[in-house]
Structures are given as C-alpha cells and as structure tokens.
Amino acid sequence: MSETDLPRNDNANAMPAPAAPPTAVRPVAAAITLERIVTVVGFALLFAWPLLVQDVFWQRIGALVLLSAISASAWNLLGGYAGQVSVGHAVYFGAGAYASLVVYTDLGWPPIAGAPIGVLVSCLLGLVIGTPTFRLRGHYFSMATIAAAELLRILAGNWPLVGAAVGLMGPPTPRSIADLSFISPLPYHYLFLGVLIVLLLLTWQMQRSRMGYYLAAIRGGDRAARSLGVPVLRYKVYALLLSATFTSLAGSLYAVMVGFADPDSALGILISVKMVITAALGGAGTLFGPLVGAVILVPLEETTNAWFGGSGTGITFIIYGAIILLITRFQPGGIAVLWRQVIARPQRSAAAAESASHAA
C-alpha cells in the first residue's frame, strides 16, 4: 500500500481510504427492489402453477420441483450455510422414505405417520456419523459422508425390515385421506409448497440470527471463529440436525407421493449428488439458490427422460455432469452470483459514488 495523506476531517482515527474502490457487499437500493419484485412474482407463479397448466405431466413436474427444492434447501443448511459439503445426505432422505413405508408395511399406519420417526432416526444417524466426521477437513469430510452413505445403502439392501434389495411399497389404494394417496398432483404440489415455505422461512430467520453469523464464520475459517468464542462443533451439529430433519421430511413426502422406495432410489449416491448440484447451481448458501436450481434441473431431467426413454437416464446425468463442470469452471457461486453480477453492473458506479460520499 502506498503512503496516503491523512484525510482532513473530524474523525482523527479514520482509516485512509484504500487505494482501490471498495467492493460493496449489499447491492444498491434499486437492485434490492428488483430482487423483491422477482421473488414475489416467482412465488405467485409457484402458487398458481398447477392451475395455469392443465396438463398432468406439467403439474407433476411442479410437485417434483418443490420436492427437490425441499431436499436441496435442507442440504443447503449444512452444505451451503455451514460450508460442510456432505455428499451422503441420501441417508437422511432414505431414512425418511423408509420410515414412512415401514410403518405402513408393518403397522398399517398411514405412511405420513412415519415422518416423525424418520426425523428421529435421521437425527440419530446425523449425530453418530456427523460428530466424529466434523473434525475432518474439506475433502476428507465429503469422502467420509460418501462412505457412510454407501455403507448404509448396502446394509439396507440386506435388511429384511426395509425390504432388502426389493424395497417397500406404499398403499396400492388409499384407505383414507390420511394415506395422502392422490391421483392428481395438485394436493402434493400445495403440500410440498407449504413445507418448502416453512423451511425457507426457518432458513431466513436462521440466516439473520446469531446462528447464521456463526455458521458463516465457520465457513469463513474455523480457527478465527473459535478465537471469537464460536462453539464450532456445536453449531455444526445444530446445522446438521436441522438439515437432516428436513431432508428426512423430504424423503417421507417422496415415499408418500411415489409409493415406493428401494436402496438405489432412496439411498443411492445419485440422490446425494442431485441435492448438492441443485443447491450449487442456484447458489449454495443463498436462500433461494436451491429453489432456482430445482426449477432448472427437475424439468430438464423429466423432459430428457420423456424424450429419450430408457437411455434417458444416461443423458440426464451427462447433462448434470456438464452443468457441474460449467459451474465449477466458471462460476462456483452459481446463478445467485451471476444474478448479483448482472444487476450489480449498472449499479457499480452508483455504489462507488455512495461510498465515496461517505468517506468525504
């Protein structure tokens, strides 16, 4: 840094202005308004979607988008906000899915009644897997989550209670409304939308609270965070428990809608990877990132599958993989960052003028 003259002002202890224009963190007022408008319009669309499109295919996609958004947003709590990139979140999803189907198969309960059990199991799993694993850095943590998930998938494939390799099915015909077995995707759409809104509200509150700041600090650097009194392990566990809970709920909702689960569809690594990509595409660590990711990826996957039939699965994942490569290579922050850059560009001069006027 070159020597700078002390600015002549009342504040004798003010810092000399840095040589390069400071980059602002919050966008300017106009940009915030634009974001708010887009958010409102977006949610209006989400609400009205099944009524706007009369085609069952598209209505179903709407419900699937919301389901994917729930799991990705749940992953986001741990992987995005806390920065602990778990690639084994399928265990929580699977726990929720299987819990629902087990209570139906063995106890005759409506599948949704299994959701609280799924949550409990997921939280326990999270504590058992997560606590020792949180000591590991970066890549090791991710690998450990993969290994744990694969381990459980193989075990489930041999466990009669969850139907071993064959899996479990839900009620073939609904016995009451509690079974939540609907022909039309509409009820599912609004059910999932409700859960998503609750999750997003919770996330938003968390983000603004001490927990949000502490998680951001943990993401910013364990060592520095600890020196400021942040109980790092405890907050990682909090994030994990919250994340596992909602991922498990997503699994239960999935089981209710699809009526089937087996080790590959409920515990497979692709489930985990999809969650990560969906959140990362939209922007990990942002509130609406996972939703944006879901809006893009789910229709993409469903239409690709519809067009290409059997071999469609292969193509879908080639596209997924290509998308990840593109994000990684060019914009790891995902669409959220791209958005900020796009709307921030015309505002940059305004922002510079603002800060300059503050420093004067």
Partner 1 sequence: MLLEARDITMAFGAFRAVDGANLDVNEGEIIGLIGPNGAGKSTFFNCLAGDATPTAGTIRFAGRNVTRATPEEHALLGMARSFQVPVTFEDMSVADNVMVGAFLRHPHRHEARRAAADVLAFTGLATLAETRAGSLGTPGRKRLEIARALATEPRLLLLDEALAGLTPAETRLAIELVRKISARGITIVIVEHVMEVILSLTERAVVFHQGRVIATGAPRDVVEDPAVVAAYLGHHMKRVRL
Partner 2 sequence: MILLQVVVSGLLMGAVYALFSSGLTLIWGMMNVVNFAHGDFVMLAMYVAFFAFTLFHLGPLEFIPLAALLLFGLGVAVYFGLVRHMARGPMLAQILGTFGLALVLRYAAFWAFSANFVSLPDNLVGGTFAAAGLRIEASRLLGGVLALLITIGMHLVLTRTMLGSRVLAVAEDRNAAMLMGIRPDRMQALAWGVGAASTGVAGALIAMFFYISPTVGESLALIAFVVVCLGGFGSVPGALVAGLSIGVIEALSAYLIGAVYQDVVVYALFLLVLWVRPQGLMGTT
Binding-site ranges for partner 1 (CB under 8 A): 1, 3-4, 6, 11-20, 22-26, 208-210, 213-214, 216-217, 219-221, 223-232, 355, 358-359
Contacts 24+ apart (CB under 8 A), 21-26: 21/352, 21/355, 22/355, 24/351, 24/354, 24/355
Binder among 35, 150, 222, 354 for partner 2 (CB under 8 A):
150
Interaction residues for partner 2, span 302-341 (CB under 8 A): 311, 313-318, 320-325, 327-329, 332-333
In terms of Cα–Cα distance, which of 215, 84, 96, 97 is closest to 144?
A: 84
Interaction residues for partner 2, span 66-125 (CB under 8 A): 79, 83, 85, 87
Tell me which of partner 2, partner 1, none is bound by residue 229, counting a contact when its beta carbon lies within the kind-specific cut-off of 5 to 8 angstroms.
partner 1
Binder among 34, 113, 147, 202 for partner 2 (CB under 8 A):
147
Work out whether 278 is an interface residue with partner 2 (CB under 8 A). Answer: no
29 half-sphere exposure, CB direction, 13 A CA radius:
2
C-alpha dist (Å) from residue 170 to 175, 252, 275: 11, 11, 24
Those residues with Cβ within 8 angstroms of residue 113's Cβ, 6 or more apart along the chain or in another chain: 100, 103, 178
Q: In angstroms, what is the minimal distance from the CB of 143 to partner 2?
A: 5
Work out whether 35 is an interface residue with partner 2 (CB under 8 A). Answer: no
Give per-residue burial for 166-176: e unless 16+ CB within 10 Å, then b.
ebbbbbeeeee
142 half-sphere exposure, CB direction, 13 A CA radius:
11
Residue 185 is encoded by which pair of tokens? 């995707």
Binder among 101, 148, 241, 253 for partner 2 (CB under 8 A):
148
Work out whether 216 is an interface residue with partner 2 (CB under 8 A). Answer: no
Judged by beta carbon, residue 133 or residue 181, the one nearer partner 2 is 133
Tell me which of partner 2, partner 1, none is bound by residue 102, counting a contact when its beta carbon lies within the kind-specific cut-off of 5 to 8 angstroms.
none
Judged by beta carbon, residue 193 or residue 335, the one nearer partner 1 is 335
Consecutive H or E run containing 350: helix 348-359
Those residues with Cβ within 8 angstroms of residue 304's Cβ, 6 or more apart along the chain or in another chain: 312, 315, 316, 319
Judged by beta carbon, residue 60 or residue 274, the one nearer partner 2 is 274
Tell me which of partner 2, partner 1, none is bound by residue 224, counting a contact when its beta carbon lies within the kind-specific cut-off of 5 to 8 angstroms.
partner 1
- Determine the Cα–Cα distance for residues 100 and 211; give it in Å rounded to an integer: 31
Residue 140 is encoded by which pair of tokens? 């090791």
Binder among 46, 63, 112, 284 for partner 2 (CB under 8 A):
284
Judged by beta carbon, residue 205 or residue 328, the one nearer partner 1 is 205
Q: Is the dihedral of CA 13, 16, 21, 22 positive or negative?
A: negative
DSSP label at 79? I
Judged by beta carbon, residue 59 or residue 76, the one nearer partner 1 is 76
- Determine the Cα–Cα distance for residues 47 and 338; give it in Å rounded to an integer: 26
Tell me which of partner 2, partner 1, none is bound by residue 33, counting a contact when its beta carbon lies within the kind-specific cut-off of 5 to 8 angstroms.
none
Q: In angstroms, what is the minimal distance from the CB of 19 to partner 1?
A: 7
Provide the β-strand partners of residue 261. 168
Q: In angstroms, what is the minimal distance from the CB of 227 to partner 1?
A: 5
Measured CA angle at 100 (ends 94, 103), to 5 deg? 130
Work out whether 214 is an interface residue with partner 2 (CB under 8 A). Answer: no
Q: In angstroms, what is the minimal distance from the CB of 188 to partner 2?
A: 28
Under the rule (CB under 8 A), what is the footprint of partner 2?
79, 83, 85, 87, 132-133, 135-136, 138-140, 142-144, 146-148, 150-151, 154-155, 157-158, 269, 273, 276-277, 280, 284, 311, 313-318, 320-325, 327-329, 332-333
